Amino acid sequence: MTRLASTALGWAVLLALLVAIPNLGLGAERILLINLILVYSIFAVGFELSFGLTGLLSLGHGAMFGVGGYALALLTIRLAWPFELALLMAGLAGAVLAAVIGFFALRLTGIFFSLTTLAFAQLAYILASTKLRDITGGVDGLAGVPRPTLFGVDFYDDGNFYLYLAVLLIVMLALAGLLRASPFGQVLTGIRVNDTRVEQLGWNVRRFRHIAFAISGFYSGIAGALLGALLFYVSPQMLHWTTSGDVLIMTLVGGVGTLFGPLIGVTIFEALKDELGRLTEHWYGILGLIFVLSTIFLPHGAMGLISAVMRRAVPRS
Amino acid sequence: MSVVIIGLSIGFLLFLLAAGLTLIFGMLGVVNFAHGSLYMVGAYLTYTVFQLTGSFWIALALVPVLGAMLGMIMEMLALRPVYGREHYYQILLTFGFILIIEELVRVFWGLDYKEVNPPAILASPISVLDATISPYRLFVIGFGAAIAGLLFYVLENTRVGIIVRAASVDPETVQVLGLDVGRVRTGVFAFGAGLAALGGAVGAPLFPVELGMGFNIIIDCFIVIIIGGLGSIRGAIVAALLIGMVRAIGYTAAPDWVDFITYSVLIVVLLTRPEGLFGRSRRVA
């Protein structure tokens, strides 16, 4: 199968699923789970732009996610801004924070970059939970985050909010797909594969990394804001290192370096979390074990498995 | 005076952890994220051994051995299959270990925090030059300095040290010379894990033994190795003492801003010497 054909197939499957889900008559709990999957998918798609496309392993994406959530909560609750404008600002807040962290962390490469992002995210977490208590509500977080009111649809109904999230995911995913295929995305791929060569070709590698990191921050901010709206609540837990770890696990389990891999990873992660959480309180440790095993035995994640099966079923002409 | 003692004791504790991290990185090219978890396990094991035997000293001797065994298992079962792959797979594996180890600690020791008392002879505060000083902290400083000296001696002057340094620089040649690099790797990882557990044992009387204690300290260790230059033991000790002093002075001068000040040190170093105080000029990992 050609690259174009598999992308088209991926889109077809995704759109068919998104259209089918409201007609399955699922219970409220399932719809909430699916909405969570949609929100985290946007987060993981953004993380993948930094990690899978550009090769920047950030361990601090929780900071951008959380800042997006707080930006939306504060703008809508305190300043009564319209939802969509606040959502846009949440994305920009994530992008600005990523740009600031990148300003320092991108002086380093490889693992040093990762460690520095982790340190900055931890600083943001400490600030949100203690120092900025007056604004952020401390460890209690902020409750009463609103949902959008568009075209007179009641988005406080989870079934309706699903439509809102699904449309946003399609738009964000399409933009990510365009970005990957664009000349800009080609340069980012080049940087991941061989940054020295790209530098020698005359591209400003650090500036490209910086822009990619900020775009990734924009996605994270949007996703964090949407999680706040979905749960009516934001808390410093969103900035915690486990959030940064979760999105990494999701992306890796799904398959690094692909457009749809993160979506599959998020679905596996959230479904496992939901099912294991029902069975045992030790779900997080079991998730860690599954993550370790899939890192050893399935290095290309679920997408690697799928494409291996597809290659066998549909031989390349 | 007491600020200096507190700063140095925090510094040497950080050094025990940072030295293991740096050794493992130099040898395997892996930043062991689970290092903080091993530190936590060390502290919990110290609590249990202390409960069983009533002696802190037995715990101090036994816990690093147990930590090293745990490290050996981790290296052989999980890290060994992925050496041939890109570096980030190894990082991710150690990340997965955090989740597993935290869960195991939760299963075995529960959620409430434990307390370990310093041994009786080091418990009562002494006063020197009208300052009250905890003798246990003096012990931590002496012990940490001794371990640091031993580490330097072994790495610089013994056959084992030469093999480890050679295998860090050029594993293929060492392999061709007839030494089993795989075993050196396992040994170094186990040794680093043992140092982390030892840090846990030493730190147990200083801090409450609780879930999440590993993560708080590991971030400081990452800051230490970024400032010191990853792979450099000399850098680790200087940076660990620097961060220890910054923390101690911060606690007395502006307790609300301690973390902020610590991160500011990191930022200043990143802006002025991105390769770290003792790092090589180019940092690629």
**What distance in Å separates residue B37's CA from the closest CA in chain A?**
13
pTM assigned to the model? 0.83
Question: Cα(B15)–Cα(B74) distance, rounded to whole angstroms?
Answer: 22
Chain A residues inside the 8 Å CB shell of B219: 118-119, 122
pLDDT the model gives residue A314? 67
Q: Do the domain assignments include residue B11?
A: yes
Q: Other C-beta atoms within 10 Å of A282: how many?
A: 16
Q: Do the domain assignments include residue B272?
A: no
Question: Cα(A99)–Cα(A114) distance, rounded to whole angstroms?
Answer: 15
Closest CA to B165 of B176, B155, B177, B175: B155
Q: Do the domain assignments include residue B260?
A: no
> What phi and psi, each to the nearest 5 degrees, are found at residue B198?
-60, -40
Q: Other C-beta atoms within 10 Å of B171: how many?
A: 19
Contact indicator for B236, B18 with CB cutoff of 8 Å? yes
Q: Inform me whether the C-beta atom of residue B108 falls under 8 Å from chain A C-beta atoms.
A: no
**Predicted complex: ipTM over 0.85:** no
Work out the burial of residue A12: count CB atoms within 10 Å of its CB; fewer than 13 is exposed, 13-18 middle, 19 or more buried: exposed
Flag if A288 and B99 touch (Cβ within 8 Å): yes
**What distance in Å separates residue A263's CA from the closest CA in chain B?**
19
A to B CB pairs, distance under 8 Å: 108
Flag if B284 and A115 touch (Cβ within 8 Å): no
Contact indicator for A240, A125 with CB cutoff of 8 Å? yes
Flag if A119 and B107 touch (Cβ within 8 Å): no
B180-197 confidence digits (pLDDT tens): 888 888 999 999 999 999
Is the pLDDT at B284 greater than 50, yes or no? no
Number of domains in chain B: 1
- Of all residues in chain A, the percent with pLDDT exceeding 70 is 97
* 12-41 in chain B: CB under 8 A from chain A: 31
Q: What is the DSSP string of A29-72?
A: HHHHHHHHHHHHHHHHHHHHIIIIIT----S-HHHHHHHHHHHH
Residue labelled with tokens 């002696």: B55
Q: Label the pairing between strands B131-133 and A233-234.
A: unpaired
B48-52, B174-178, B231-235 — most confident range: B48-52
Q: Do the domain assignments include residue B274?
A: no
DSSP state of B119: P
B206-223 confidence digits (pLDDT tens): 888 888 888 878 888 888
Question: Cα(B171)–Cα(B43) distance, rounded to whole angstroms?
Answer: 34
Question: Cα(A98)–Cα(A216) distance, rounded to whole angstroms?
Answer: 8
A169-220 confidence digits (pLDDT tens): 999 999 998 998 899 888 888 888 888 888 888 888 888 999 999 999 999 9
A262-295 confidence digits (pLDDT tens): 888 888 888 888 888 777 777 778 888 888 888 8
User: Residues of B184-213 as b/e, b for ≥16 C-beta within 10 angstroms?
Assistant: bbbbbbbbbbbbbbbbbbbbbbbbebbbeb
pLDDT the model gives residue A92? 94
Q: Which amino acid is at B42?
A: G
In chain B, which residue ranges form alpha helices assigned H by DSSP?
A: 2-28, 35-53, 56-74, 87-109, 135-157, 159-169, 171-176, 181-203, 213-228, 233-253, 258-272
Work out the burial of residue B127: count CB atoms within 10 Å of its CB; fewer than 13 is exposed, 13-18 middle, 19 or more buried: exposed
B77 Cβ neighbours under 8 A, 6+ residues apart? none
Q: Do the domain assignments include residue B263?
A: no
Least confident of B24-33, B42-51, B116-125, B195-204: B116-125
Domain of B116, in residue numbers: 2-212
Q: Which amino acid is at B66?
A: L
Question: Cα(B99)–Cα(A283) distance, rounded to whole angstroms?
Answer: 10
Question: Cα(A162)–Cα(A34) distance, rounded to whole angstroms?
Answer: 8
**What distance in Å separates residue A224's CA from the closest CA in chain B?**
23
**What distance in Å separates residue A54's CA from the closest CA in chain B?**
14
